[in-house]
Structure 1
Amino acid sequence: MNDAFIDFAAGALIKARGREWVVLPQSEKDLLRLRPLGGSEDDIVTLLPGLELIPPHTATFEWPNPQHAGTHDAAMLLRDALQLKLRAGAGPFRSFGNIAVEPRAYQLVPLLMALRLPTVRLLIADDVGIGKTIEAGLIARELLDRGEISRIAVLCPPHLVEQWQQELQTHFHIKAVALTASSVNRLEREIPHGVSLFDHHPFVVVSLDYIKSERHREHFLAIAPECIIVDEAHTCATGGQGKQLRFELLQRLVVDESRHLLMLTATPHSGDDTAFHNLLSLLKPEFSTLQGAGVGVRKELREDLARYFVQRRRKDIEEWQDDSIFPRRMTKEVTYVLTGRWGRFFDEVQEYCIELADRTEKSSGQAARMIWYATLALLRCVASSPAAAEKALTTRLAGTIEDMESLADEERLYDGHADDLMTNDLEPAAQIEDVSRLQGLIDEARGLAGSEGDPKLAALIQHLKELLKAGFRPVVFCRYIATAHYVTHHLKRHFKDFTIDAVTGEFTPEEREARVFELGEADRPVLVATDCLSEGVNLQHQFTAVVHYDLAWNPTRHEQREGRVDRFGQKEPEVRCTMLYGQDNPVDGFILNVILKKAEAIRKELGVLVPMPEDEQRINQALIKAALLKRNRIKTDQMAFDFGDLGVDLKPIESQWHDALERARANRTVFAQRRLKPEEVLPEWRKQLTVLGGEQDVERFVRNASSRLNSPLETYKRKAYRLLPQHLPTALRERLEHEKIDKPVAIDFHYPPVTGAQFVHRSHPLVSLLADTLLESALTDDRPLAARAAVTVTTEVDVVTCIYLLRLRHQLSYVRRGETRHLMAEETAALAVRGRTNPEWLDEGNLQALLNVTPSANLSPELTEREIQAAIDFLKANNNQLDIMASSRAEALLADHRRVREASRDLGSYTVRPCLPVDVMGVYVLLPDTL
């Protein structure tokens, strides 16, 4: 047979075009996928053997050259470079070599659940801030690395598109494009003619607003990827027209029984049983019958549903030894009284509203009914700030029915529903009469600006003094844009030594993120924001406290604000959350006691927020009645508010809320996933860290490599460092520039990183490029930076000891759903032997100490070369030890896969075969120091 048509196995070493290559899976006789020996995944090529002048042929890896010996430190540098270069790791979780975050053990539970299912269909409903994005990314990356999928689409609300794109790239090395209504035309212009957008870009993050049009929806359905991730999945349940279209889209996607679907939400059940069961039906059609099923059938269905649905609170994670990763949330209430001119202004506006409403109600039609929304909107703006009051009073609301209805339709007055919170932070229009009639109120609002006339602002300033003195970095949440700018302006006057900025809906999502990042770089920042930041922008790396300057009228919004700071990745042990409210403001009193305190009591009892029932009519009536209460009827003790005389029966709302609490409690009993125990997951994760290298290994390698390359790291704040790429070798510097590392940058090797620093993990481009550079030098240079051979004289051994650094490749055959896939697994290992006359082969438990010995004397070049050659000759004479080790590692790898498969009840089977011969990467001799 012609060599050009040899069927090389995955993992085989061949020579072609004058260099050595490793054969990768998916290679065939007439088409080879190859990675250069010592190269990275970015260097993979496809080669057609039949077109080569010199056919590819089997190659063997060269032994180390005794004449190119280096130091002990250079030898250890090669060991670290080999370990951290591994991507197709040999462990049972294929994705771990390609992820840029160290997942916590509890975050592996959804991954194990996914491995149980022939087609992944999961609803991940973990609490806010636990890390659903990481859990979904792990599953998607695992499916990619197992060869089960090649394309992914994330469907999410528009404000989350950029965040998802960044998370996939940063943490999972998945380069996705953002597909929105504004970007699609540009993307289509950049692809070749006749090629589908989704074929050209295998990984996309799609705005749900983009996909809602019929043309885009049908096109997406025709070429949808094999794996779909849906974030904020509760917004795709039935309800309004938009939600119905989203639900129908998902229904049509899951018709393909082989398509994987991951749905993420922190609020799977927002009080609407029908919407909840519609979500469940996307996992499996029969789950839609749970709502009306009998006791026996319902029990069986719920047990089956537990395979597809995971929902955990923070307290559920304690048994995973991970409770310490979340900060303590310390809450506080700060009150103020509507005194002096501010109180009189509030009373005057209230009187004006009552007078206006009385006049309008005497007329007939929709305007009479809608006037209450206008007056309530004005009172909310007045309670927010003088600036918001002025804006509302000077913004004309025409008296037409259509304009008045828009006030309620746009929900500017409220905060939206639990499953669809709005982020519109514009002040509602409240000027109905001619402006001259209102000029006195407008002038009064302008005159109240500042802490002297505004007791609410004064209370905020005093509270911030306490927070900032204690070292906290606060976010102040306001309801309206005018309030945010007003607060920012006055805080800058009072806190001149701090960096203060406002981020509102006036900016694009990209601009918001940039402003937050820039502010987070400051030593003493204060961020003032509207609710445009309460979803989609994570603030845990830059900020440590939340102040609700304006009470949200929906408890879910409060939880989302606090969840931006109190979430996975928060480095501080404690975060502060403060509610600021008017002690004698009747609307604040109603919102606080009837809504927010009830929600907080449920959250403390259950461990998670249960959304408020959506009884709009009763809530509206109660709010309007509360707005009419005179301040002089309110006791100074906010807790003594008596709303029994509102004339609105609120007991049905309380009853609905209690029922929702009981349903949530029952659901969590079933879906907390207590069947998977920590002892089934933790050992595998720790073993993978040992094989692939953890944070300490990465830090040691980058520090040593940078020093070896004449660019030692500088110290930076709080145990972080600063990289100076301008001092690195030209070739490496050019590679780093391609990764946008072209100027000094702060780096941190521990997650979460300190503010202003990049988190450098094992798969960060810096680590990969340093490892590539050192390995290339070791294989090609006469005086390599990382040594393949070394002799170390040390007092820590009493007999000649040889350490052989090895690279092993295994062919992993994986059968699932009747389809066989061949994967390649690589690992770095070491083999050690004491003595040469009566050799004692050492087990792996002794290797770490031998690798970390301290040199105590130097050796001449002649003796060094002789000792290395002797060690090479010894191993060649005992070559069977390499084969024995390769077979032993293959058996251990197979056992690991079987153990994880049994723990997760993974469907499928594995076989593992070692690819021989083993590559001898390094030969290191330890000589006893007899002096």
Structure 2
Amino acid sequence: MPSPSEGLLKIRPLSGSDADAQVIAPSLEAMPITPASFAAPTSERLDTQEGAQLLADALRLSLRRGAGPFRSAAHLGVEPRAYQLVPLMVALKQSVARLLIADDVGIGKTIEAGLILREWLDRGTVDSFAVLCPPHLVDQWVTELAEKFDVDAVAVTSARARSLERGLPTSQSLFEAYPFTVVSLDYIKADSRRDDFARACPPLVIVDEAHTCVGGERGKHQRFELLQSLASDPDRHLLLLTATPHSGDVAAYDRLLGLIHADLTGGPEAGDANARERYARRLAQHFVQRRRPDIQDSWEEKRAFARHETKEAPYALSGDFATFQEDVLDYCLEVTERAGADKKTRRLAFWGTLALMRCVGSSPAAAASALTNRLSGTSDATAIEPVVFDAEDGVMDEGDIEPATAIEASEEQTVLSRLIDTAHRLDGRRDEDPKVRALLAELTPLLKQGANPVIFCRFIATAEALGEVLRETYPKFEVAVVTGTLTPDERRERVAALEAHDKRILVATDCLSEGINLQSAFDTVVHYDLSWNPTRHQQREGRVDRFGQQAEIVRSVMMYGENSAIDGAVLNVIIRKAKEIEKATGVNVPMPEDQDSVTSALMQAVLLRNDGSRTQYVFDFDTSAERFEMAWRDTAEGAKASRARYAQGALKPDEVIPEWRRMRALNGGPEEVARFTDRALRRVQAPLERKGDFTLAHLDSLPETMRDQLSVRGLKGTRKISFADDLRPNVTHVGRVHPIVAVLAETLAEGALDPIGAEGNPLGRAGVWRTPDVSQMTTLLLLRLRFQLVTSGRTNRLLLAEEAVGIAFTGISNEATAEGVEALELLEAQASSDIDPAARTRQIENALGRLETYQQAIRKLAVERAATLSDDHLRLTEAAGGGATVKVTPVLPADIIGLYVLLPEAN
């Protein structure tokens, strides 16, 4: 690498980072400093054709520093779709990447951000990063980064920070000690931690669910102050991710955009014509938002998403179950009547009534729990409100507990006790419950069709009661219940255990509506309880209906009581209104945060659905319901207008897709990975076992060193795997960076270069065989080419890279007849017959004698390859519309890793 001064030598391992670089003073060394090189292959360790094939693939798949324009290609464990390259291309044209990625739920924002992150690491643009996200998403991010982007990040949460800090010097922040972190927003927003993080903050920050950081509540205010501090550094790369950028609060939306660029702070209509023009231009440069129809129509990505079929499943309450709900409603209306004129008391009465009715409408079990809790004491409005409206602030873990909603009134004791007794009796008659019967009527035909459903309930008691019913009704199915009583780790473990069963049903509260992706094992969502926040319905369905879902059809079923006053109110005031607004404006916008208006609108709807005997319970709702609807429609129109102010139409990823695919082919794509893994496992006596559309990998049969390496990554026993990215449930995708492939490739490649320290039977680096695919003797060299990449732009950097290529010579000519991937394909030409060992040795010795005559052709290949790579980089820069330029130069001499002689059939 460039030396700091004359007389010094700066060196760095090819697979290391700048932190691994060392400076050497050659004059102080006892032995002269000489360039490192690998000895040429010899005739002492010959191998078969399959050994040659294994070494070539192992070398290709073990390399992590590609020289092409997409340097991240060698590290990816996912095959991105064309539309997912758009944010990367937008970022490539910026000297400092500042993006708001606001694609729909399930399109792949994590993949899009991960591509940018991985590319920036591999280009040397950054050497550390932090992901900030709600606490329930921390583990998911750590997993996604490891599996899809070959990045091992540490989770920083309140529970884990202390152990991470243990042993660190008092002057060192854990963010300095750990360069790759995923950080809980709730942990880091505290004033003391926020300052420490701002001081040691890495140069790249990703913020997931960014809309939860810009509202007016105290928690959001703390988060916004943190992001504002980070964004104030003009050199910091900042990626904000959210599916709901415009959540109904115009000021919050402007604050969110202002974090990306100061020109976007004042809104689209602020300032003169020049300012408005500048706003539109900036928005197009920094904002990426696509809805699913945009991708399916414009990008022809029909197969990226399943067809979504929705169904409503109304049921009618009858008998004692209907009477019970009527009795509870009578009780609730009496409570609201006693509230009188005091606004605070009245609001608390309304919210308490609605919260209690939510539980009663959910199930007798939830009703019994809520009514019992009501006897426990009072609760204030701030505790009840989130339960009523499914409030979303990035923390939902405890939101499924039945609320305590009591107002101190001794006269309530008798009626409450009577209602509690009734709820317990009805809970004991679950097989008669009309709601349960309606669910089973929907589930039975779906299960016969092979569906794997997730049933979302609002409260813990409902989920647990329903789990018992389903286990009794469907004894051949594995039924799991996941609620907020479990820790995040326990939830993941329970879901993972369920995936091992072919017949499975998951019952969950909204603690799973974010945080754990379920598309690999489930294809149906049942809304057993209506959510009072339409965004929550989308989040529930988005766990299943998202990128990576392999079912052709995803189904969602929405249940509601057609004669239930409370369900009817929610349907008319919220659910139906949300669909009307989305249909009219083409955008989906969360409800306005004016909860008083929503409460009044719901209470009004409840009263209007009841007969004349309840007309005495009339309250002055004025025009709050109408104001609520108007505010919602105005917000949707504003969001629609904001989408029209920008466009990524000028971006044409198809112009660079060929380069992307060439790099993936050179580094080893899905076919090469499958071929190598099959051959490698046979080589080490642990062959794959074919089972229809998946394969079994018996990891415990591997040699000890490989087995131990995989065991520390949690990989042991027998695993169902597939090399295609269209997976069936319960099957693990194995790509080039999957630990199984990485361990096999690195072990076999290193063993061939250092056979003394290798385990088992290391690969030889030379071989001779006959094949009908050549008409003359052909000498094939497996090369490792090394390059220096010099970037010029805002910053200049020297990067190191390498590629595995082939070069072939016919007869005794020193002119290459095949190069690159074409030359390596000769290794796949079918061998036809054995050759006498002495003859094989003689052929290799003769080829070694010709190596010097091949050096000019090898140098020419390296120079031409560098020029091609420079052109590829330029093409990508032009397609992105700007960015740093890259010049690629070869580092010579090239390493000759393998030497093979292919002979024609004997006459």
Q: Taking structure 1 as the reference length, what is the TM-score of the superposition?
A: 0.90
Q: Structure 1 residues 405 and 271, CA, compared in 2 at 3 Å: closer, same or farther? A: closer
**CA distance in structure 2 between the partners assigned to 1:796 and 1:682 by the alignment:** 32
* Segment drifting more, 480-489 vs 284-293: 284-293
**CA distance in structure 2 between the partners assigned to 1:300 and 1:194 by the alignment:** 44
- State the Cα deviation string for residues 23-76 of structure 1 (Å, max 9, x = none): xx99993553235xxx89999785756675434312443222134222111111
Which residue, 52, 58, 76 being the options, matches 2:53?
A: 76
Which residue, 884, 892, 900 being the options, matches 2:868?
A: 892
**CA distance in structure 2 between the partners assigned to 1:407 and 1:784 by the alignment:** 66
Write the letter of the residue equivalent to 2:191. Answer: E
Which residue, 135, 152, 163 being the options, matches 1:175?
A: 152
Write the letter of the residue equivalent to 2:733. Answer: F
Superposed counterparts of 1:137-148, under 5 Å: 137-148=114-125
Structure 1 residue 352: Cα displacement: 2.0
Q: Structure 1 residues 754 and 622, CA, compared in 2 at 3 Å: closer, same or farther? A: same
Structure 1 residue 337: Cα displacement: 0.2
Which residue, 711, 733, 737 being the options, matches 1:763?
A: 737
Question: 1:926 maps to which residue?
Answer: 902
Determine whether 1:375 maps to 2:353. Answer: yes
**CA distance in structure 2 between the partners assigned to 1:464 and 1:115 by the alignment:** 48
Determine whether 1:543 maps to 2:512. Answer: no
Percent identity over paired residues: 44
* Segment drifting more, 531-540 vs 675-684: 675-684
**CA distance in structure 2 between the partners assigned to 1:477 and 1:308 by the alignment:** 36
Structure 1 residue 816: Cα displacement: 2.5
What secondary structure does 1:34 align onto?
coil
Write the letter of the residue equivalent to 1:204. Answer: T
Question: 2:630 maps to which residue?
Answer: 655
* Segment drifting more, 245-254 vs 331-340: 245-254
What secondary structure does 2:194 align onto?
helix
Question: 1:775 maps to which residue?
Answer: 749
**CA distance in structure 1 between the partners assigned to 2:647 and 2:565 by the alignment:** 40
What secondary structure does 1:910 align onto?
strand
Write the letter of the residue equivalent to 1:914. Answer: P
**CA distance in structure 2 between the partners assigned to 1:397 and 1:87 by the alignment:** 63
* Segment drifting more, 390-399 vs 822-831: 390-399
**CA distance in structure 1 between the partners assigned to 2:204 and 2:843 by the alignment:** 55
Q: Structure 1 residues 781 and 154, CA, compared in 2 at 3 Å: closer, same or farther? A: closer
Structure 1 residue 211: Cα displacement: 2.1
* Segment drifting more, 435-444 vs 879-888: 435-444
Write the letter of the residue equivalent to 1:745. Answer: R
Determine whether 1:166 maps to 2:143. Answer: yes
Q: Structure 1 residues 369 and 235, CA, compared in 2 at 3 Å: closer, same or farther? A: closer
Q: Structure 1 residues 189 and 181, CA, compared in 2 at 3 Å: closer, same or farther? A: same
Q: Structure 1 residues 603 and 690, CA, compared in 2 at 3 Å: closer, same or farther? A: farther
Over the aligned positions, Cα root-mean-square deviation in angstroms equals 2.9
* Segment drifting more, 188-197 vs 91-100: 188-197
**CA distance in structure 2 between the partners assigned to 1:157 and 1:837 by the alignment:** 64
Determine whether 1:267 maps to 2:241. Answer: no
Superposed counterparts of 1:222-237, under 5 Å: 222-237=199-214
Which residue, 416, 421, 424 being the options, matches 1:443?
A: 421
Question: 1:63 maps to which residue?
Answer: 40
Q: Structure 1 residues 291 and 832, CA, compared in 2 at 3 Å: closer, same or farther? A: same
**CA distance in structure 2 between the partners assigned to 1:922 and 1:190 by the alignment:** 46
Q: Structure 1 residues 404 and 843, CA, compared in 2 at 3 Å: closer, same or farther? A: closer
**CA distance in structure 2 between the partners assigned to 1:284 and 1:894 by the alignment:** 32
Question: 1:833 maps to which residue?
Answer: 809
* 2:375/2:413 contact within 8 Å kept: no
**CA distance in structure 1 between the partners assigned to 2:627 and 2:368 by the alignment:** 37
Question: 1:823 maps to which residue?
Answer: 799
Determine whether 1:799 maps to 2:776. Answer: yes
Q: Structure 1 residues 832 and 784, CA, compared in 2 at 3 Å: closer, same or farther? A: farther
Which residue, 690, 694, 698 being the options, matches 2:673?
A: 698
Write the letter of the residue equivalent to 1:775. Answer: A
**CA distance in structure 2 between the partners assigned to 1:230 and 1:482 by the alignment:** 34
* 2:597/2:627 contact within 8 Å kept: no
Structure 1 residue 221: Cα displacement: 1.6
Superposed counterparts of 1:349-368, under 5 Å: 349-358=328-337, 360-362=338-340, 366-368=344-346
Write the letter of the residue equivalent to 2:535. Answer: T
Question: 2:720 maps to which residue?
Answer: 746
**CA distance in structure 2 between the partners assigned to 1:355 and 1:459 by the alignment:** 31
* 2:141/2:182 contact within 8 Å kept: yes
Superposed counterparts of 1:312-711, under 5 Å: 312-318=290-296, 319-358=298-337, 360-362=338-340, 366-396=344-374, 403-409=379-385, 411-416=386-391, 424-432=399-407, 433=410, 434-449=412-427, 450-603=429-582, 608-629=587-608, 650-711=625-686
**CA distance in structure 2 between the partners assigned to 1:325 and 1:594 by the alignment:** 34
Question: 2:880 maps to which residue?
Answer: 904
Structure 1 residue 568: Cα displacement: 1.1
Question: Which ranges of structure 2 fall in alignment gaps of 5 or more residues?
Answer: none
Structure 1 residue 594: Cα displacement: 3.2
What secondary structure does 1:63 align onto?
coil
Determine whether 1:857 maps to 2:857. Answer: no
Structure 1 residue 659: Cα displacement: 3.1
- State the Cα deviation string for residues 308-360 of structure 1 (Å, max 9, x = none): 111111222233343311111110111110111111111121222223333x1
- State the Cα deviation string for residues 428-485 of structure 1 (Å, max 9, x = none): 2245555433233222222223443310011111111121111111100001111111
* 1:474/1:543 contact within 8 Å kept: yes
**CA distance in structure 2 between the partners assigned to 1:800 and 1:840 by the alignment:** 13
Q: Structure 1 residues 606 and 291, CA, compared in 2 at 3 Å: closer, same or farther? A: closer
Question: 1:916 maps to which residue?
Answer: 892
**CA distance in structure 2 between the partners assigned to 1:149 and 1:397 by the alignment:** 57
**CA distance in structure 2 between the partners assigned to 1:176 and 1:838 by the alignment:** 49
Write the letter of the residue equivalent to 1:535. Answer: E
- State the Cα deviation string for residues 181-239 of structure 1 (Å, max 9, x = none): 22222222242454222211112222221222221112222221111111111111141
* 1:154/1:230 contact within 8 Å kept: yes
* 1:778/1:784 contact within 8 Å kept: no
Structure 1 residue 843: Cα displacement: 5.5
* Segment drifting more, 334-343 vs 153-162: 153-162
**CA distance in structure 1 between the partners assigned to 2:18 and 2:146 by the alignment:** 15
What secondary structure does 1:452 align onto?
helix
Determine whether 1:242 maps to 2:219. Answer: yes
Q: Structure 1 residues 426 and 923, CA, compared in 2 at 3 Å: closer, same or farther? A: same
What secondary structure does 2:331 align onto?
helix
Structure 1 residue 269: Cα displacement: 0.5
Structure 1 residue 603: Cα displacement: 4.2
Question: Which ranges of structure 1 fall in alignment gaps of 5 or more residues?
Answer: 1-7, 11-24, 635-642
Question: 1:255 maps to which residue?
Answer: 232
Question: 2:260 maps to which residue?
Answer: 283
Determine whether 1:111 maps to 2:85. Answer: no
Q: Structure 1 residues 633 and 149, CA, compared in 2 at 3 Å: closer, same or farther? A: farther
* Segment drifting more, 193-202 vs 854-863: 193-202
**CA distance in structure 2 between the partners assigned to 1:27 and 1:228 by the alignment:** 37
* Segment drifting more, 50-59 vs 203-212: 50-59
- State the Cα deviation string for residues 874-914 of structure 1 (Å, max 9, x = none): 44324211111111001001111111111113432322211
Structure 1 residue 505: Cα displacement: 0.7
**CA distance in structure 1 between the partners assigned to 2:539 and 2:587 by the alignment:** 12
Write the letter of the residue equivalent to 2:796. Answer: T
Question: 1:16 maps to which residue?
Answer: none
Structure 1 residue 755: Cα displacement: 3.5
* Segment drifting more, 228-237 vs 96-105: 96-105
Structure 1 residue 539: Cα displacement: 0.9
**CA distance in structure 1 between the partners assigned to 2:405 and 2:414 by the alignment:** 14
**CA distance in structure 1 between the partners assigned to 2:145 and 2:723 by the alignment:** 20
